[in-house]
Amino acid sequence: MYKIGLFIPCFMNELYPKASMDTLKILESFGLEVEYPMEQTCCGQPQANTGCAKETSILAKRFLEIFKKYDYIVAPSGSCVSMVRYNYKQFLEGLDGFEHIQKNTYELIEFIHDIVKPEKLNVSFPHKVGIHNSCHGHRELGLASMSEKNVEPFSKIKDILDMVDGITFSKLERNDECCGFGGTFAITEEAMSIAMGKARIQDHIDAGSEYITGVDMSCLMHMQGLIDREKLPIKTIYIAQILSKGLK
Amino acid sequence: MSNIGHPEAASKFASDIKRMKWHDKALWFVRKKRDLQSHSVKEWEELRKIADKIKTHTLSRLDFYLREFEKNAKANNIEVHWAKDANEHNKIVLDILQKQGAKKLVKSKSMLTEECQLNPFLEKNGIEVVDTDLGERIVQLRHEPPSHIVLPAIHLKKEDVGTTFEEFLHTQKGNSDPTYLTHAARKHLREKFLASDASLTGVNFAISQTGGIVVCTNEGNADLGASLPKLHIACMGIEKIIPKLEDLAIFTRLLARSATGQPITTYTSHYHSPQRDGEMHIVIVDNGRSKILANDKYIKSLQCIRCGACINTCPIYRRSGGYSYGYIIPGPIGSTLGASHDIEKNYTLPFACSLCASCTNICPVKVDLHEQLYLHRQDVVDAGLLDKTKYKALKIATWIMKYPLIMDISGKIARKIVPLLPRSIVYSKYNIWGKNRELPKFPKNSFKELYKARKK
Ligand code: SF4
């Protein structure tokens, strides 16, 4: 039996304990052995995306040391996983265990889809849901086919959500446009971030989504912030919170 | 062009919400046309792969292919000139014109001459320059630079064009019917063509093997220019080379589909020698390109065929407009080229990007655009250009993240205190997040605390 190291992004640990707990519950519900190493903090993405290579390198090395002992590392975040898989190379190449974590770090849905491969889930969520394909999970990890490319359409996210009873999906005008969170972009380019977020939410409202769901809490936090300020008739829900309905 | 950074210029553009939404929609429409076309070619991804390979190979032996090109062009009676920078380029062009006594120049689209600021230079030296591409002519009349590399006047509505033509071409007041305006422009441009002494075109592809160049346009203006006056000057960057004629088909299949969602441009014109009794000159320009060629991180930006697809798909460009970049080429490709060209002047451009990676995946020649912008950010930090407050904040955050205990304590304090603070303090002017967004509700416990409690 393999052992999973659970990585919870720093901001989720502080601000979204329930969504994080739901992530753990789902993994455990498959009978998997999951451990949350206590000394973990942050993968270094905010630093990396701002160009602070020295600082990123410190946090990347910490991540490697903490997680290299696990068979798999699973995180409820497409962008943190993308960081490990594609951006750590510059800082960790050649170090012991780097190739291992690069190959075996998975985003939650990707892990369920590719490794756990469940045949059914005992959950029901009778609502119309719009999937937010957050960019890093979508275009870097390849969780679904992107509109830019001429490839057979697929979506690992939808494959998993399809196992939920009663769920229906809204059809968006722009299936995979960025919501404008973008990490420190949300602050540096505030006006753009807001305009992009509002456009995304409006697309979901027009398509009749009751909920916007996705694999990145950060995008949802940004959109929920706009929804709350503007008092819009829609909610966001992190995907693990749908999948863990009814789990103890 | 503005001296303010991208965020300020973008915010200004976006404050006219109606116009911003219109601009976004207009470009999204082009993006959708592109999707339709690219999805109708089943070997599309294969074509991108081959195009990438041809360009990668060519760049790896660029000196060879350039010399071959020069040799073959000369054998076709074309004169070839080399310019190391914009200045040299402009002087060479002026020199050619003066030798022939040419006073009136008609130009078809060339981003390179925009980059070199050729027009004002020639005008200062007594040459009349007329841009003959419709969009280019519109912005030229308005004394504006192009706001897009393929759709230079995309920032203007038809009413804006109507008033511009009223002023300069004396069209009917208040008439902004596109067909009417196009006819007026055509008549005006025909006169300019007939009276011209020389023409200047850009180059889409320069074929090393044949020593000829290829220009793709929709309006046929390059052809009129190159055929009417006896003197034709073509200006190109060193990266426009492709090795063989066969290679061209790969790129023409990709170019127009990516650019405007057409299967092919209306005109794909090959120029392989001067016209009878005429002269043809090709000016090959470096202007900073060999510096990029020598840099592994950014070399792929020289593969660009200037289709504009990355610009159309960019969710920031669509909402900030071409001028917000303050660089001659906007959007993702402009941001990386601008940062390579002059990081100090263009240090906000690598950050004018949410790293959504749409550009990289739409690019017909696989320029790794968002990865380049990510790396340019490190150059900005290395050059000491990152905002000091932001840098300090990230340094402190990194220090906290080195010590889990300190992270836990800071987190706990924040979660305890923030909910107790009055709204006016939490949402003060320093809270940029909270200007237009609510903060998430702060929970009582962190996940780590819940995890520990659960284990007991
Ligand atoms: S970088 Fe690629 S997508 Fe952008 S203009 Fe150049 S060729 Fe087109």
Residue A121 lies in a domain: no
Q: How far is A113 from chain B (nearest CA, A)?
A: 23
Residue B304 Cβ inside 6 Å of ligand 1? The answer reads yes
Q: Are residues B171 and B74 in the same domain?
A: yes
Cα–Cα distance list, A228 to A4, A216, B430, B441 (Å) = 36, 18, 20, 11
Residues B195 and B283 in one domain: yes
Give A68: exposed, middle or buried? Use CB within 10 Å, 0-12, 13-18, 19+: middle
Are B332 and B370 a contacting pair, CB within 8 Å? yes
Give domain status of residue A78, yes or no: yes
Say whether residue A29 is in contact with chain B using an 8 A CB cutoff: no
Q: Nearest by CB to B394, from A50, A186, A225: name it.
A: A50
Helix (H), strand (E) at residue B437:
none
pLDDT along chain A (248 residues), means of 10: 96 97 97 97 95 96 98 98 97 98 98 97 96 98 98 98 97 98 96 98 98 98 98 98 88
Select from B31, B298, B24, B306 the least CA-distant residue to B154: B24
CB contacts of A20 in chain B (<8 Å) are 447
pLDDT of B409 > 70? The answer is yes
The ipTM (two decimal places) reads 0.97
- pLDDT for res B37: 97
When pLDDT is averaged across residues B82-102 and rounded to a whole number, the result is: 98
Q: Are residues A112 and A148 in the same domain?
A: no
Q: Indicate which CATH number applies to the domain containing A217.
A: 3.40.50
Q: Is B45–A87 a contact, with Cβ atoms under 8 angstroms apart?
A: no
Contact A215, A143 (CB under 8 A): yes
Domain of residue A156 covers: 128-243
Same domain flag for B327 and B444: no
**In chain B, how many domains are there?**
3
Picking from A85, A116, A147, the residue at the C-terminal end of a domain is A116
What is the reported pTM?
Answer: 0.96
Same domain, yes or no: B71 and B140: yes
Domains identified in chain A, total number: 2
Mean pLDDT of B146-163: 96
Report if residue B166 sits inside a domain: yes
d(CA A105, CA B407): 23
State the first-to-last Cα distance of chain A, in angstroms, to the nearest integer.
23
> Considering the domain boundaries, does residue A122 fall inside one?
no
Q: Does residue A86 fall inside a structural domain? A: yes
Task: Check pLDDT > 50 for residue B342.
Answer: yes
Chain B residue with the nearest C-alpha to that of A35: B451
Q: What is the pLDDT of residues B216-264, one digit of tens each?
A: 999 999 999 999 999 999 999 999 999 999 999 999 999 999 999 999 9
Say yes or no: B341 and B313 in one domain.
yes
Q: Which residues of A touch B355 (CB under 8 A)?
A: 49, 135-136, 182-183, 185
Out of A39, A52, A191, closest to residue B404 by CB: A39
Is B293 inside a domain boundary? no
- Shared domain check, A141 and A108: no
The token duo for B236 is 């190109």
Range of the domain at B407: 388-455
pLDDT at B1: 43
What atom in ligand 1 is closest to the CA of residue B333? 1
Q: Are residues B313 and B239 in the same domain?
A: no
B279 located within any domain = yes
The residue-averaged pLDDT of B183-200 equals 96
Does A110 share its domain with A153?
Answer: no
> Are residue B309 and residue B374 in the same domain, yes or no?
yes
CA B363 – ligand 1 centroid, Å: 5
Res B304 pLDDT > 60: yes
Same domain flag for A81 and A175? no
Are residue A85 and residue A148 in the same domain, yes or no? no
Pick from B55, B298, B306, B361 the residue to mutate for probing ligand 1's pocket: most ligand atoms within 8 Å of its CB: B306
What separation in Å is there between the alpha carbon of A38 and the centre of ligand 1?
Answer: 45
H-helix or E-strand containing B214?
A: strand B212-217
Q: Is B364 in the pocket of ligand 1 (CB under 6 A)?
A: yes
Q: What is the pLDDT of residues B59-84, one digit of tens each?
A: 999 999 999 999 999 999 999 999 99
How would residue B3 be classed by pLDDT, with cut points 50, 70 and 90? Answer: low
Using the 3D structure, point to which of A116, A143, A167 is the last residue of a domain: A116
Note whether residue B129 is domain-resident. yes
CATH of the domain at B373: 1.10.1060
Query: What pLDDT does A246 receive?
Result: 79
| B200 shares contact with chain A (CB less than 8 Å) | no
Q: Are residues A140 and A179 in the same domain?
A: yes
Q: Can you give the pLDDT at residue B109?
A: 86
Domain assignment present for residue B307? The answer is yes
